[in-house]
Homo-oligomer: A and B are copies of this chain.
Amino acid sequence: MVLMNEPAKHGLVRIRFDLSYDGTEFAGWAIQPAQRTVQGLLQDSLSTILRVRINLTCAGRTDAGVHARHQVAHFDLAESIWREFEDDLLRRLARYLPSDVRVNSIEQAAPGFDARFSALRRRYKYRICDQLVGIDPLERVNVLNWESPLNEMIMNEAGALLLGKHDFAAFCKRREGATTIRALEQFSWSRDESGVLVADVVADAFCHAMVRSLVGPVIAVGEGRRPVSWPLSMLESGARSAESIVASPQGLTLENVDYPEDSELAARAVATRKMRELDN
């Protein structure tokens, strides 16, 4: 398998930017013909402003309707163009982009940085309002309404059983030639000050639709419709089944991406590439 996203070539600089978006009106991150995507919109905007074709790589390729409070992406650019635009690019993007996507910082990346392969871990949150009256309309953009009460104690138990490094094939939409082995570091549930149920889901990386495929079965446990061990038995089956439940994207937000210290960025990217290849 050939992995793209090599370090920046000679004469090019690598630009890192941090962004947030309301995913409601996007068909996800990844560019698709005739669809409004985050990648497509940003590539078009940057290409227009910089007058050169831009290709983006991000840390977490969110699905249609999934939000990001702190996504990270990079692109490579001729150094001369960067020097021309660097002082003004943040302001120009702020004016150019629609209000459902905001670039919060943009700067030359530290050497060896790769938004995807240098990342140590991704943190998502999944928010559910299970109260009778439903979520406050002013807070609803990234919260799912659920009509029956959920028991977060048993949801926590069910989630804890899945922690660790496993083949998460049962919780992934299969992509040809891609490994489904991941290290799930956290999958815990708590209630915020408004009573909204929030899942913290952290892993080194996630496969396609993995967070929502983990959340769906645990909701069934929280409703009492399935035993606490049900998600674990799905994991152990090693394959996606007809009983898979993919939770709605509305409740899911990519909260942040962790990277190592600057001195470790390149080594981390090399190690991640090697690991993904070995696993296949």
Interface residues of A (CB under 8 A from B): 20-22, 67, 69, 90-91, 94-95, 99-105, 132-138, 140-142, 145, 147, 253
Chosen A-B contacts, 30 in total, with CB atoms closer than 8 Å, are: A20-B136, A20-B137, A20-B138, A21-B137, A22-B137, A22-B138, A22-B140, A67-B137, A69-B136, A69-B138, A90-B132, A91-B132, A94-B132, A94-B134, A99-B134, A99-B135, A99-B137, A99-B140, A99-B145, A100-B137, A100-B140, A101-B137, A102-B133, A102-B135, A102-B137, A103-B133, A104-B133, A105-B133, A138-B141, A138-B253
CB distance from A139 to the nearest CB of B (A): 8
Neighbouring B residues of A69 by C-beta, 8 Å: 136, 138
Copy number of this protein in the oligomer? 2
Give Cα A196–Cα B180 distance, bound, in whole angstroms.
Answer: 42
Chain B residue at minimum C-beta to C-beta distance from A136: B20
Chain B residue at minimum C-beta to C-beta distance from A70: B136
| Docked-complex contact B95 and A138, CB < 8 angstroms | no
Give Cα A134–Cα B253 distance, bound, in whole angstroms.
Answer: 19
Name the one of B102, B140, B145, B147 contacting A136, with C-beta atoms under 8 angstroms: B102
Neighbouring B residues of A103 by C-beta, 8 Å: 133
CB distance from A122 to the nearest CB of B (A): 17
Give Cα A132–Cα B90 distance, bound, in whole angstroms.
Answer: 8
Give Cα A136–Cα B139 distance, bound, in whole angstroms.
Answer: 13
Neighbouring B residues of A141 by C-beta, 8 Å: 138, 141
| Docked-complex contact B133 and A138, CB < 8 angstroms | no
Neighbouring B residues of A94 by C-beta, 8 Å: 132-134
Q: Name the 9 nearest CB pairs between A and B, nearest first.
A: A22-B137, A100-B137, A102-B134, A104-B133, A21-B137, A94-B133, A94-B134, A20-B136, A20-B137
